[in-house]
Amino acid sequence: MELHTFKDYHSMSHAASDSMLRAVMSKPDAVICLATGHTPCLTYRLWVEKILQKNINVSNCFFIGLDEWVGIRADKEGTCHHFLYNYIFHPLHVPESNLHLFNPMSKNLEEECVQMNEIIHSRNGIDMITLGIGMNGHLGFNEPGASLYNDAHVVKLDATTQTVGQKYFATVQSISRGITIGLRQIMQSKKIIVLANGFGKAHIIKQALEGKISTSLPASLLRNCHQATCYIDEEAATLLRK
């Protein structure tokens, strides 16, 4: 994995959005998987702006969901659905036929996983994935201890994710389960962009980049991925060895 450190959130987001832009310019029918969360907001805003300004054709790109909170209606503010429509699908006019997200209210979550696996497989995997890093080092909802060999699966969220996850919602939610693509699918993605900013992420960034590479900290596994680039700001880099 390559590491790039930037002065601040703004310059980090600019560089990451440029990298995302290069990906869709070099592969106009890319399969794209985008994390939600606070970290990538500016990267996505800039990416969308640049696509529109430069008139880049993304009508042949296909978007898949990384993860979702189980049992919360998709249209509620705070869900991954809501985020992706707001930041990406509405501004880029992505038709429903060019996206596939997990249905968090499905009566058959296993079937949701099967469908997602089939879609990823039939499209020859993910061309570009943009990820944040959870406070516990998770990737998507691959929590500490997740298997390296997992494809899409339903997961019991760990205590950190349940607590931290409340920040996305206006009122307290019961968020005990998630649905996510697996570490195998993430790590097999052809281009991996990882983002982290702010002092709040400094400790987990140090563990992920300088600690043991282990499934007990999923983000650390990306160090073995030659196709991964990590973009962080100076605050998130505070605790790293110089």
Catalytic residues: 67, 136, 138, 143
Q: Which residues does 121 contact at the CB level (< 8 Å), separation at least 6? A: none
Q: Which residue, 27 or 206, is less far from ligand PGA as judged by CB?
A: 206
Comparing every residue's Cβ against ligand PGA, the nearest one is 37
Residue 57 structure tokens: 């054709």
Give the shortest CB-60-to-ligand PGA separation in angstroms.
Answer: 28
How many whole angstroms separate alpha carbon 206 and alpha carbon 44? 25
Residue 230 to residue 100: CA distance in whole angstroms: 26
Least separation in angstroms between residue 34's CB and ligand PGA is: 11
End-to-end CA distance of the chain: 17
Shortest distance, position 43 Cβ to ligand PGA, whole Å: 10
Q: 37 or 78: whose CB is closer to ligand PGA? A: 37
- Identify whether the C-beta of residue 236 lies closer than 8 Å to the C-beta of residue 202: yes
Contact 128, 20 (CB under 8 A): yes
- Shortest distance, position 47 Cβ to ligand PGA, whole Å: 16
* Closer by beta carbon to ligand PGA, 19 or else 39: 39
Residue ranges in contact with ligand PGA by CB under 6 A: 35, 37-39, 132-134
133-153 in b/e form (b: 16+ CB < 10 A) is bbebbbbbbbbbebeeebbbb
36 to 8, 62, 84, 165, 239: CA distances (angstroms): 20, 17, 7, 11, 25
Closest CB 231 distance from ligand PGA, rounded Å = 13
Nearer to ligand PGA, 41 or 154 (CB): 41
Cα torsion angle, 68, 146, 132, 193, sign:
negative
